[in-house]
């Protein structure tokens, strides 16, 4: 393609956006509406997942050892546990550490009366998991290790969390599918209305001997630009709305602050921006490409 | 009976081909076109047009004129028979190659078919853009062809602001700017008053004198009779007469 043809194509694409301003506006609005819903939904899901993940990371299994176990054996057990794929982190808590933390947490200044460590046998491993759903398997394994006296776990938390995780997964897939179906429907409608005006134009071009590529290129440029605007608009809106909503929830529902850890807007946008723009451009590209194709057979 | 007749015709055509290919630009051999419903639009049409000829194709609606034009433009493909345009066998043409093929022909329609949102200059320039002529050259070529058709002063006007005659001149300029060997005009004067019709015809004649093969589909009896060119008359999908310096044949 010659440079002059390239600029001509670009120029025609831009001109025709303005020439058909109502059609362009309708298309931008349609894409915006879909991507706005998508963005909103993504922000909610991302936060949900973050909350669940934070909670998951806090779930630990505690392993206590038999009385009089050797230091070597404890290290050995530690290595064995570390090798499991489900395990993300193993922390050794000595008897003194266990006592100190218990003291600080529950006794405070009343701990002065204890001269000896009442938790002498409470040295343990705190084990953190990658995936809460594997807790049950891990516990069975841990209980089978020689030298392990007791394994403490929180069955309820683990089950709930992995359940919530699954639910979020299903809901995400469902909502994304519905959103996609709705956008395809809306966009094909908008494009069909817009294209009837262009049908004649395409026909004329083809009669004169324009190649499909030459006819299509300005339409595709137009579609991509519309897609860009259609994705930029909801991003801007969500950017401002997000912070306000987070602030609002944080002040209005202070009770929830301990469990609701909102993601910063930057984290959300690091993913949302490229995905939204790609979707907008993709919708614009595919929409114009397919619709023009229908009319190219002249 | 019919079959033998056809066969003899074919043989003659094939014989003739050898001697005439060099200056033949359009050739139809036993071309038929049927649509899914009704009688065939074209039925065993044989036709040769030489380079530099000026030919009228006349006939009532339903005679197959429009189908003929569509076949030549490769908008349709024949159900039977063979069409050759400027050395290209239309049947064998791949879809991808159709645009290039169409550049052999400048086309003018009854309803002008200008790009409505673009001004006169852009409408004419468009034909050059699709063959990737550099902008620099387009700037030279467009004004020159516009003055040929007598529209030099109106290059900024939109089609809506022009009269029918002027719009047809723009269409003509667009058809001619790439200097195609063939000009197809489908009822070019159908929407014009007598004066404008004559002006357009004079232009077509001028173009023909410069070496372009001109094919005019029309039912403008006066013009056909006055111009004394080759006239091909069609009726119900067949050629009923083909005369040098012919006239418009009346019904019955």
CA distance between the termini of chain A: 23
Chain B positions touching A201 (Cβ under 8 A) are: 115-116
Chain B residue at shortest CA distance from A9: B129
What's the CATH class of domain A60-153?
alpha beta
Chain B residue at shortest CA distance from A209: B99
Chain B positions touching A209 (Cβ under 8 A) are: 99-103, 127, 130-131
- B102: contact with A, CB 8 A cutoff: yes
Question: At B8, is the pLDDT very low, low, confident or very high (cuts 50, 70, 90)?
Answer: very low
Average pLDDT, chain A: 82
Per this entry, what is the length of chain B? Answer: 252
Domain with CATH 3.40.50.300 in chain B: 24-104+180-252
Query: pTM score, two decimals?
Result: 0.70
Select from B100, B107, B116 the Cβ nearest to the Cβ of A207: B107
DSSP per position, A12-49: HHHHHHHHTHHHHHHHHHHHHHHHHHHHHHHHHHHHHH
Q: Find out whether B100 and B66 touch, Cβ atoms under 8 Å.
A: no
Min Cα distance B126 → chain A (Å) is 8
- The complex's ipTM? 0.80
| For residue A93, pLDDT beyond 70 | yes
Min Cα distance B209 → chain A (Å) is 23
Domain ranges of chain A: 3-55+163-296, 60-153
Determine what percent of chain B is predicted with pLDDT higher than 90: 67
Question: How do residues A51-86 score in pLDDT, each as one tens digit?
Answer: 877 777 777 788 888 887 888 888 888 888 888 887
pLDDT for position B208: 95
Chain B positions touching A4 (Cβ under 8 A) are: 132, 134-135
pLDDT for position A158: 65
User: How many CB contacts within 8 angstroms connect chain A with chain B?
Assistant: 52
pLDDT for position A257: 67
* Residue A191 in tokens: 């494009």
Min Cα distance A26 → chain B (Å) is 20
Classify domain B24-104+180-252 at the CATH superfamily level.
Answer: P-loop containing nucleotide triphosphate hydrolases (3.40.50.300)
Phi, psi of A295 (to 5 degrees): -100, 0
Question: How do residues A233-275 score in pLDDT, each as one tens digit?
Answer: 999 999 999 988 888 888 887 776 666 678 888 999 999 999 9
């Amino acid at each position: 393609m010659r440079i002059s043809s390239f600029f001509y194509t670009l120029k025609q694409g831009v001109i025709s956006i303005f020439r058909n301003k109502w059609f362009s506006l309708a298309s931008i609005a349609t894409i915006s509406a879909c991507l706005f819903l998508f963005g909103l939904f993504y922000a909610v899901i991302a936060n949900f997942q973050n909350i669940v993940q934070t909670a998951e990371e806090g779930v630990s299994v505690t392993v206590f050892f038999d009385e009089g176990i050797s230091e070597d054996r404890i290290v050995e057990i530690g290595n064995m546990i570390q090798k499991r794929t489900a395990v993300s982190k193993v922390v050794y808590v000595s008897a003194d550490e266990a006592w100190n933390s218990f003291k600080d947490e529950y006794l405070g200044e009343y701990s002065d009366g204890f001269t000896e460590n009442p938790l002498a046998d409470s040295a343990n491993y705190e084990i953190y998991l990658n995936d809460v759903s594997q807790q049950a398997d891990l516990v069975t394994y841990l209980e089978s290790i020689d030298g392990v006296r007791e394994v403490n776990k929180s069955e309820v938390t683990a089950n709930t969390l992995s359940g919530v995780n699954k639910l979020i997964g299903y809901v995400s897939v469902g909502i994304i599918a519905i959103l996609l179906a709705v956008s395809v429907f809306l966009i094909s409608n908008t494009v069909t209305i817009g294209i009837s005006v262009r049908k004649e134009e395409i026909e004329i071009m083809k009669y004169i001997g324009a190649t499909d590529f030459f006819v299509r290129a300005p339409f595709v440029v137009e579609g991509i630009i519309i897609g860009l605007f259609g994705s930029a608009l909801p991003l801007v809106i969500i950017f401002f709305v997000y912070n306000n909503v987070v602030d609002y929830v944080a002040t209005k529902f202070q009770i929830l602050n301990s469990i609701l850890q909102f993601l910063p807007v930057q984290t959300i946008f690091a993913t949302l921006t490229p995905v939204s723009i790609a979707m907008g451009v993709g919708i614009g590209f595919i929409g114009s490409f397919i619709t023009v194709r229908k009319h190219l057979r002249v | 009976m019919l079959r033998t007749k056809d066969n003899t015709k074919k043989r003659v055509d094939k014989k003739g081909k050898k001697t005439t290919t060099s200056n033949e630009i359009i050739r139809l051999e036993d071309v038929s076109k049927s649509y899914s419903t009704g009688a065939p639009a074209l039925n065993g049409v044989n036709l040769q047009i030489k380079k530099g000829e000026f030919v009228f194709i006349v006939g009532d609606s339903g005679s197959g004129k429009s189908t003929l034009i569509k076949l030549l433009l490769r908008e349709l493909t024949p159900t039977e028979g063979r069409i050759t345009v400027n050395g290209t066998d239309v049947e064998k043409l791949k879809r991808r190659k159709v645009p290039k093929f169409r550049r052999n022909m400048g086309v003018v329609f009854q309803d002008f078919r200008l790009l409505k949102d673009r001004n006169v200059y852009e409408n004419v320039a468009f034909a050059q853009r699709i063959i990737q002529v550099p902008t620099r050259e387009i700037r030279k070529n467009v004004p020159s062809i516009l003055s040929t058709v007598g529209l030099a002063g109106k290059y900024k006007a939109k089609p809506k602001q022009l009269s029918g005659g002027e719009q047809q001149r723009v269409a003509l300029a667009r058809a001619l700017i790439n200097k195609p060997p063939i000009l197809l005009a489908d009822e070019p004067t159908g929407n014009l008053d007598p004066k404008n019709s004559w002006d357009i015809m004079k232009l077509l004649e001028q173009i023909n004198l410069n070496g372009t093969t001109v094919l005019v589909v029309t039912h403008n009896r006066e013009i056909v009779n006055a111009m004394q060119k080759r006239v091909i008359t069609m009726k119900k999908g067949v050629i009923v007469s083909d005369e040098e310096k012919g006239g418009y044949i009346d019904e019955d």
